[in-house]
C-alpha cells in the first residue's frame, strides 16, 4: 500500500518563475494538506483541500494556490517565485473518518529558487 | 492562536543514555498533540499522539510522552537511545481535533545527536 507520493523530489527554479508540485494521497485518504518547511524551521501550514475545495488556509500570500482533483490528488502552485520560497514542501493526507490522528506525510519536494 | 515551543534547538546524548525532549504548547482547549521524527531529506514520521485519556502515551521505536496540562507540556522520552535515533524531532498541536479538518502547528524542532 503506497503512502503519500510527491513529485518531483527536487526542483530548481529562477526568481519570478512559476512552479507546480504534485501529491498523490495515501490510498483511502480524501483530504490533502500542504506545508512549507524552511531550513531549520518546523513545517508551516499552507492550506488544506477536501472535496476539491480549499477548506482552510494558513498565512500565505495568494501567490500560493492549489487544486484537488476528483481522484483526491492535489497540486500546489506558486507564482512569481521569490528566493524566500526555497524550502521543503510537504504534503500530508488524511481521511475524514480518521479524525486528526490519521495524517500521513510524504517525503517532500525540495524547491530551490535562484 | 495555537503555538508550540521546543526550547532545545540541539541535544547531544551518548548511546544508551536516556533522552527527554521538551515541548510546550499554547492552545485554548484540550489539545491534540503529536511528536514526529524527521531524518535528513525525509518527510515526517509519526512517533505518538495524545488527545485524551491516559496522560502517558506510548509510541513507536520505544518512545513515550507525558502530557501535563498544568505545565502545558508534552515532553518526549526514551530510556535508552540508539545511534539510529539521531534525527530532528518535532512537536505539533492540531486544532479542530474531532475532525481531520484541522491544521497542525509545529515547533521549530530539536536536533538530536547521538555520541557513540
| CATH number, position A18 | 2.60.40.10
Whether A89 maps to a domain, the answer reads: yes
pLDDT at B86 over 90: yes
Whether A77 maps to a domain, the answer reads: yes
For residue A99, the model assigns a pLDDT of 62
Whether A35 maps to a domain, the answer reads: yes
Whether A71 maps to a domain, the answer reads: yes
For residue B28, the model assigns a pLDDT of 75
**Domain coverage including residue A78:** 5-96
Q: Report the relative pairing of strands A10-13 and A19-24 from DSSP bridges.
A: unpaired
For residue B79, the model assigns a pLDDT of 97
Torsion of CA A70, A49, A26, B33, to 10 degrees: -160
User: Cell 520560497 identifies what position?
Assistant: A85
Average pLDDT across chain B, whole number = 92
Tell me how far apart the alpha carbons of residues B40 and A18 are, in angstroms, rounded to a whole number: 27
The pLDDT tens digits for B95-113 are: 776 666 778 899 999 999 9
* pLDDT tier at B40, thresholds 50, 70, 90: confident
* pLDDT tier at B57, thresholds 50, 70, 90: very high
User: Cell 524527521 identifies what position?
Assistant: B38
Interface test with B, best of A5, A99, A110 (most B CBs within 10 A): A99
Strand partners, A34: A47, A91
Q: Do B105 and A45 lie within an 8 Å CB cutoff?
A: yes
For residue A101, the model assigns a pLDDT of 65
Which is more confident, A61 or B30?
A61
Tell me how far apart the alpha carbons of residues B114 and A86 are, in angstroms, rounded to a whole number: 29
For residue B54, the model assigns a pLDDT of 87
pLDDT under 50 in chain A at which residues?
none
Strand partners, A17: none
- Tell me which fold the domain B3-115 belongs to: Immunoglobulin-like (2.60.40)
User: Cell 494558513 identifies what position?
Assistant: A58
Which residues in A lie closer than 8 A to residue B32 (C-beta atoms)?
100-101
Count of domains in chain A?
1
For residue A1, the model assigns a pLDDT of 56
pLDDT at B43 over 90: no
Tell me how far apart the alpha carbons of residues A60 and B7 are, in angstroms, rounded to a whole number: 26
For residue B42, the model assigns a pLDDT of 83
Which residues in A lie closer than 8 A to residue B94 (C-beta atoms)?
100
Let me know how long chain B is.
116
Amino acid at each position: 500500500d503506497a503512502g503519500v507520493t510527491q513529485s518531483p523530489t527536487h526542483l530548481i527554479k529562477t526568481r519570478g518563475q512559476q512552479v507546480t508540485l504534485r501529491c498523490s494521497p495515501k490510498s483511502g485518504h480524501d483530504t490533502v494538506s500542504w506545508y512549507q518547511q524552511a531550513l531549520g524551521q518546523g513545517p508551516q501550514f499552507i492550506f488544506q483541500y477536501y472535496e476539491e475545495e480549499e477548506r482552510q488556509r494558513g498565512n500565505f500570500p495568494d501567490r500560493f494556490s492549489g487544486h484537488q482533483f476528483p481522484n483526491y490528488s492535489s497540486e500546489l502552485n506558486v507564482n512569481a517565485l521569490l528566493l524566500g520560497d526555497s524550502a521543503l514542501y510537504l504534503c500530508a493526507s488524511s481521511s475524514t473518518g480518521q479524525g486528526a490522528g490519521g495524517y500521513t506525510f510524504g517525503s517532500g519536494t525540495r524547491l530551490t529558487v535562484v | 492562536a495555537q503555538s508550540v515551543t521546543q526550547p532545545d534547538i540541539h541535544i547531544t546524548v551518548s548511546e544508551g543514555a536516556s533522552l527527554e525532549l521538551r515541548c510546550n504548547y499554547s492552545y485554548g482547549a484540550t489539545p491534540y498533540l503529536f511528536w514526529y521524527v524527521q531524518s535528513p531529506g525525509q518527510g515526517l514520521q509519526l512517533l505518538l499522539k495524545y488527545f485524551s485519556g491516559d496522560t502517558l502515551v506510548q509510541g513507536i521505536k520505544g518512545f513515550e510522552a507525558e502530557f501535563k496540562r498544568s505545565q502545558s507540556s508534552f515532553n518526549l522520552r526514551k530510556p535508552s537511545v540508539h545511534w539510529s535515533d539521531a534525527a530532528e524531532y518535532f512537536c505539533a498541536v492540531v486544532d479542530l481535533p474531532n475532525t481531520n479538518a484541522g491544521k497542525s502547528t509545529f515547533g521549530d524542532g530539536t536536533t538530536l545527536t547521538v555520541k557513540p
